[in-house]
Amino acid sequence: MTRLRTQIAALSVLAMAGLGGAAAAHAASAGPGHTPTTTLAQDFNAVTRNTQWQQTGTLKLNFPTYHTEGIAFTPQHIFLSAVQILEPTVKYSTPQGGYDRTPGKGIGHLFVMDTSGHLQKDIVLGEGDMYHPGGIDFDGANVWVPVAQYRPNSSAIIYRVDANTLAVHKQFQVADHFGGIVMDKQTGHLVGNTWGSRRFTEWDLRGRQLKTWDNPNFFIDYQDCQYVPAGKMLCAGITNLPQTPSAGGANGTYELGGVAMLDLTSEQVTREIPFQHWSTAGHVATRNPFKMTAEGNHLTMRVAPDNGDEGNGTEILTYEATVTPAAH
């Protein structure tokens, strides 16, 4: 019971800390013990490859979660996006119609839980071949969810879900696969990343493209991101790399995980770290859903790397680390 109370309290701290906008303002005025989320950029800049991360919590989700994608925390809820595959995609021998694979079939889910991880609502998102939700972001009022075709160079719908009423709004549709999104609170614009996070695009809220740029980094593919004040984006992800010939070569890949911070003005990666901690099913922890908060000089990371049919099912894992930010 004590451990459960600790996990619930930790999730509440994450939600109250917020990921931008109104949530940040609330945290800043919430009284002693709370700090503005601007410390997140400062604290992450102090993280190195030698930073000691300790796993401090495990929250088991007791409902079908399928293939998890993104996560967001609000004061009342935990949101988890996932894709339920009904028919896998199949690679073409040669591209057809501009695609490298069949569309497959599936169902996009946005699970809404209370802060203890109990399922409250299953919101089904998507249209036609667009059934794959990606990384999600909470802006203090809304949860933003991209739902794309499960293949590159395709199409996606950007959804806005009211975090309080859970009302769903189809914001706009775009002609490419976007697997992650954040709301830039500094500009009021949305920033999405394409298949493999090879390119970023910025839109206004009507879906008008304002700019696009190539990802200068090839370390990992970003899976789930969040906005960081001011004008930054924190992303976690994974890449699969070949092993030595004796370990199976290209057929014996291993998962490399990591976290990166990007400046949305300069369009450059400003800090990145590897993160080699593993889940119950043996996946690197940053495989998919990810969010991080900071309080003082203490960082808290929450991830949910395992699918519902793997290992012990989907678990929200909590990792914590203490850092020493540079003096200003």
- pLDDT tens digits, one per residue of 140-179: 999 999 999 999 999 999 999 999 999 999 999 999 999 9
What whole-number percentage of the chain has pLDDT above 70? 88
> Domains in the chain, start-ordered, CATH in brackets?
2-322 (2.115.10)
DSSP 63: S
- Are 307 and 292 in contact, with CB atoms under 8 Å apart? no
- How far apart, in whole angstroms, are the C-alpha atoms of residue 229 and residue 42? 10
Has residue 13 got a pLDDT over 70?
Answer: no
Has residue 290 got a pLDDT over 70?
Answer: yes
Residue with tokens 């619930």: 8
Mean pLDDT along residues 250-254 = 88
Q: Which residues contact 245 (CB under 8 A, 6 or more apart)?
A: none
Has residue 220 got a pLDDT over 80?
Answer: yes
**Intra-chain end-to-end CA distance of the chain, in Å:** 42
Confidence tier at 328 by pLDDT (50, 70, 90): low
Range with the largest mean pLDDT of 4-13, 228-237, 242-251:
228-237
Has residue 24 got a pLDDT over 70?
Answer: no
Q: Over 253-269, what HEC string results?
A: CEEEEEEEEEECCCCEE
- How far apart, in whole angstroms, are the C-alpha atoms of residue 44 and residue 271? 8
C-alpha closest to that of 129 among 170, 192, 177: 177
- The rounded mean pLDDT for the chain is 89
pTM: 0.88
Confidence tier at 2 by pLDDT (50, 70, 90): very low
Has residue 21 got a pLDDT over 70?
Answer: no
